[in-house]
Amino acid sequence: MDSEIRTVTTEAELRKIVKEPPRSAWDKDIGRIDEHARTLIAHSPLVLMATANADGTCDVSPKGDPAGSVLVLDEHRLALADRPGNHRIDSFRNLLHNPHVGLLFIVPGMNETLRVNGRATIVSDAPFFDDLMVRGKRPRLALLIDVEELYMHCAKAFLRASLWEPDTWPDRKSLPTLGRIVKDQMGIKVAAKVIDTGLALDARTNRY
């Protein structure tokens, strides 16, 4: 089976398959936060953040808050709050060794996304922390992101996925609950319903 897999190992090989993009594909990177980017960031409740550690091992982490919670400090800087999670701090540990970060801002119902690449600094306090409060809770940490690239990503991926079309969504009852998944993957000898109840309680009471 492996002998039938044809790999691509150079950019020259890659360009034999994928032609060079038009100049506009490169020119769309404006490298700053303009009025349109500000509008999309203000309406985005979900950001996917990609980081990598010193050896290149990658991680993608979802960051969700009420729309408008990501602060635009100026044309080249964003502030993104850290919220309670599983305490693994994978992204932050990566950023200590490699400050490069990629952000994908998602706006519900919109198929186009905003892509931002730059460098992040972990901040434990700053004047803008008060503006990052949600439900009266001030974050313990935040990321100060210096924007180096910023551009729109086309709608094709979301259109192919039919992401915002409820008729294409699976019946949730046909999928395992997180409690069932955790029980089976970790070999926990507790009923899945008990795990689900605990996870639901944590999700309700420990968001901020």
Q: Which domain holds residue 182?
A: 170-205
User: Considering the domain boundaries, does residue 128 fall inside one?
Assistant: yes
100 and 26 in a common domain: yes
User: Considering the domain boundaries, does residue 88 fall inside one?
Assistant: yes
Q: What percent of the chain has pLDDT over 70?
A: 100
User: Considering the domain boundaries, does residue 113 fall inside one?
Assistant: yes
| Ordered strands of the 46-52 beta sheet | 58-64, 46-52, 100-106, 113-123, 142-153, 77-81, 71-74
201 and 143 in a common domain: no
DSSP alpha helix (H) spans, 50-148? 90-97
201 and 149 in a common domain: no
- pLDDT band at residue 3 under the 50/70/90 scheme: confident
Tell me phi and psi for residue 144, to 5 degrees.
-100, 115
147 and 188 in a common domain: no
- pLDDT band at residue 47 under the 50/70/90 scheme: very high
149 and 58 in a common domain: yes
- pLDDT band at residue 149 under the 50/70/90 scheme: very high
182 and 123 in a common domain: no
Which tens digit of pLDDT belongs to each residue from 78-113? 999 999 999 999 999 999 999 999 999 999 999 999
User: Considering the domain boundaries, does residue 5 fall inside one?
Assistant: no
1 pLDDT higher than 90: no
16 and 109 in a common domain: yes
143 and 49 in a common domain: yes
69 and 16 in a common domain: yes
Which tokens go with 4? 């039938």
24 pLDDT higher than 90: yes
**How many folded domains does the chain comprise?**
2
User: Considering the domain boundaries, does residue 6 fall inside one?
Assistant: no
What are the C-alpha distances in Å from 121 to residues 1, 138, 197, 200? 45, 18, 37, 32
Q: What is the domain-level CATH number for residue 122? A: 2.30.110.10
User: Considering the domain boundaries, does residue 35 fall inside one?
Assistant: yes
Which tens digit of pLDDT belongs to each residue from 63-86? 999 999 999 999 999 999 999 999
User: Considering the domain boundaries, does residue 4 fall inside one?
Assistant: no
